[in-house]
Structure formats: C-alpha cells, structure tokens
Amino acid sequence: MNNIQTRFAGLTLRNPIIVSSSSLTNTAKKNKKWAEAGAGAIVLKSLFEEQIILESQREQTNLDFHTEGAEYYTEYFKGYKLAEYLDLIKDSKREAGIPIIASINCYGDSSWVSFAKEIEAAGADALEINLLALPSTTDYKYGEFEQYHVEVLKHLKEVVNLPIIMKLGRNLTSPVALASQLREVGAAAVVLFNRFYQPDIDIDKMEHTSGSVLSAANDLTEPLRWTGLLSGSVNIDIAISGGVTDADAVIKAILAGASAVEVCSALYRDGDAFIKNALVKLNNWMTDKQFGDIAAFKAKLNVQNVEGANRFERSQFIRYFTEKK
C-alpha cells in the first residue's frame, strides 16, 4: 500500500477524501458509517443562522406568540439548536474517530463569534466558514463582498484557535487574490467552490423551479482551473468541491495542487462504495505511476508560472478550437 496520508488545514488525514457538509453528515450514526467506509475527514451539516431564525418564526406563529416575547424566543431557539449541534460534534468525534470539521453559515458578526467559540469548546478539529451570498444591489461597491470574508475571518481569529477553513463561492473577482489575503489573516485552508442553489423556470407552469441539486463531472473544470492557479502562487491548503464524481477527479485535484477533495453528490449517488472504489483506484494509479506518497505528485500539473497562465490558457483554447472539425 502507498502512503495516501495528506495534510489539510493543519490536520493529518489518512487520505484526501472528505465527506462534504450535507444531510449525509447530520447524525453521528451516519458519520460513523463514513469513517468505516474509509473517509479521511467529515464536514458536519452546516449550522445556518438564517434557517434557525426562520424555524423560530414558524414556531412562534404556531404558538401564537405576542410581539414582546418574540425576541426572547428567537434567542432561546437559537441556543437550543446550537446545543443540538454541539452534541453532534461530540457524538461524531466519539463515534467516527477521524477529524470532524464543523460548518457554520451566519450573517451577523455576533453569531459568527458566539457559534465559533462554542464549537471550539465542543472539540471540533476545525471550522469551515460559508459566506454563501450574491451581492445583487445597485449600490454594491466593488470588493465589498471579498472584504467581508477578510473581516469575518479576522473577528473569528480573535476568539478561537482552531483551524478555520474558508469555503469560497464562484462569484469572486479573483479567488487567488482573496485566498492570499485570507492566508495573511490566518486562514488554514480554502475550499473551491461552494455550490449555489440552481434556479430554473418551468415554462409550462410559468413558475420557478429548482435546477439540478447534484453536481456533475463537468463542474470540476472551474475549481480545477483555480486550484492550479492558486497552488502555484499562494502557500495555502486547498480542497476541491464540486464535480468530484469519480476516482479520476480525486487524482486530478491533487495533480492541480489540492490537498483534499470534498465529496457530496457522488455519495448521494453511490453511497460509501464511492469512497472504497476511489481509494482503490488512487492506490493502483500511484503504484502504476511509481508515486509512493501524495506529496510526490501533488501540484505536479499546476500552473507553476502564474505570469504565463494566460498564455497557456490562450494557446490551449486556440488549439482546441482549431482542431475541432
């Protein structure tokens, strides 16, 4: 067997496959199963402040709360949901025996900080931050959204010591520049990229519908591109998320410079068989190529010379379309 250990966000993982945050990771029982299947780490289902508040409001409607009690009940409900999440961390740590990464999504500074402090105390090995938003107002000033990432990270680093992983969206001016800033502020790693809700329209019913929930193989190209660019210029750990649908994608991600991959859709489709098959393929491929460990081929096909990145992309683009019949 080859050495397939990897380092990600200051953690030693037995292999590069991380189970991504979703309903697949919302119980300790499920997380034990992923660990037994061979996963390197698990990201727990995200704690969404907005979802907590919406649930609280629904409860208040059902209970016919008066206005003066609404704020108190919201805080009580938020504390109750946080306590549930802290139990999930503790139980998953006990049952899984592999690194457990908490995940939160908030829109207020106070919640980011209070949630993070509690999560660290509960024993999470790292914390993944999701700033999933679409700046869409006409008064938006360029760079505000990116700066918000930096400010949130600064505030968190003031109150917690656990590794913080920033999961980035695709709607950034320059993922490379932002990742560089985040590293300077203290980010342990970045994940490329978060998956937005996919909107669609039913033209017969004339109504909004949901597009594809699960990612597809062609979703890998964008995070692969930016991982290749980022790993060639910024010394920060990277995980690829989106489009990791088979074992080949795991290998491609590492060749581009990623330390790990976060997998979700493939697990919905194939279950724990995906992890087992991917690890077998990874080992066989490494043996065939005579790579004894992950470090031997990590970033072997990234963009070493960022200054030449555009020339490389342009020449590939021209070659591709001139050869197309």
Give the residue extent of every domain in the chain.
Answer: 6-323
Span 161-220, pLDDT tens digits: 999 999 998 888 899 999 999 999 999 999 999 877 677 888 888 898 877 777 788 899
Please tell me the distance from the alpha carbon of residue 51 to that of residue 30, in angstroms, as a whole number. Answer: 22
Q: Does the pLDDT at position 136 exceed 80?
A: no
> Is there a contact between 130 and 104 (Cβ–Cβ < 8 Å)?
yes
Q: Which CATH superfamily, name and number, covers 6-323?
A: Aldolase class I (3.20.20.70)
What residues are paired with 264 via a beta bridge?
A: none
- The gap from C-alpha 313 to its chain's centroid, in whole angstroms, comes to 26
- The gap from C-alpha 94 to its chain's centroid, in whole angstroms, comes to 23
Query: Locate tokens 């995906």: which residue?
Result: 274
Nearest to 127 by CA among 5, 44, 235, 39: 44
> Is there a contact between 174 and 148 (Cβ–Cβ < 8 Å)?
no
Average pLDDT value for residue range 303-312: 60
Span 38-71, pLDDT tens digits: 999 999 999 876 666 555 455 555 555 555 555 5
Model confidence at 109, pLDDT cuts 50, 70, 90, reads: low
pTM here is 0.88
Q: Which residue has the higher pLDDT, 221 or 79?
A: 221
